Every structure is written in C-alpha cells, then in structure tokens.
Amino acid sequence: MTESGEYIATEAEDMDAWLCICGNRPDFDGFYPCDRDGNEMEPVEGWEDIYVCARCGRIIKQDSLEVVGQNPHFRLLA
C-alpha cells in the first residue's frame, strides 16, 4: 500500500456515508472490507481496517479515509 495524497469524503449529515472520488456511495456499488491488494475479505483478527470501493477499486483506510492504493481488477467474495 502506498500513500496517494487522495482522501474520500463523507456526507455532511452522515459521517458513515462515504463518497468515493469516483462517485460511488454505500447505497450504489458500496465498499467492502479488503486485504492489502484490494480483494474483498472477511474482517478477521489482524485485518487492517481497509476497504475497497466496489466501483473503482480504490483502497481506503477506515480511520482516516485516505486512499492507500487502487486495484482496478479487485475480487469480491461470491
């Protein structure tokens, strides 16, 4: 993972409603817990609290909303 200098936003009235740079939101394509490569995973012990945008593949740190990578070919769980 690398620092990109990019951050996603949240809706003013709901800090849990993320707004990705690509325009994705939780009620559109959504965001999923992921590994360092941006592939969806179950959040288990040791998980790094990162999510993948299901539209553009940006990898986002939950605590800071910083984009720490991107994988346009990410995999979601079945």
Report pTM: 0.91
Distance of CA 78 to the CA centre of its chain: 18
pLDDT at 3 (0 to 100): 63
CB under 8 Å to 32, separation ≥6 — which residues? 40, 51, 52, 54, 76, 77
Query: How would residue 15 be classed by pLDDT, with cut points 50, 70 and 90?
Result: confident
What are the boundaries of each domain within the chain?
9-70
Query: How would residue 78 be classed by pLDDT, with cut points 50, 70 and 90?
Result: confident
Pairing of strands 9-11, 14-19: antiparallel
Q: Is the pLDDT of residue 75 over 80?
A: yes
Q: What is the pLDDT of residues 20-70, one digit of tens each?
A: 999 999 999 999 999 999 999 999 999 999 999 999 999 999 999 999 999
For 47-74, b/e burial (b = at least 16 CB within 10 A) is eeebbbbbbbbbbbbeeebbbbbbbeeb
